[in-house]
Amino acid sequence: MTHPIELIIEEPVPGSFVWRLLETDANGANPTVLRSAFDAADSYEAALASGQRALHSEIRNIAASAH
């Protein structure tokens, strides 16, 4: 993988959690939003689980396009 992807969870409003996938360049700089949650989750754990599914989906897409 040449562009690292980071999963972050934020709480913009108390009790409302959203995830984002940030993609950086090969040096880990210049992050851009690759994907983000459509809706906020009620808990950190729910947002984390949803974000992890999105991250795994991106990894599968990258692997599929490499073949």
**Within the chain, where are the H helices?**
44-66
- Quote the pLDDT of residue 38: 95
pTM attached to this predicted model: 0.84
Residue 23: which domain range? 5-66
For 42, phi then psi, to 5°, come to -80, -15
Structure tokens at 8: 């972050």
Q: How many domains, in total, are found in the chain? A: 1
Ramachandran angles phi, psi of 32, nearest 5°: -130, 150
pLDDT value of position 67: 73
Give the pLDDT of residue 66.
78
Segment-wise mean pLDDT, segments of 10 residues, the chain, 67 residues: 85 97 84 94 98 94 82
Q: What is the pLDDT of residue 27?
A: 78
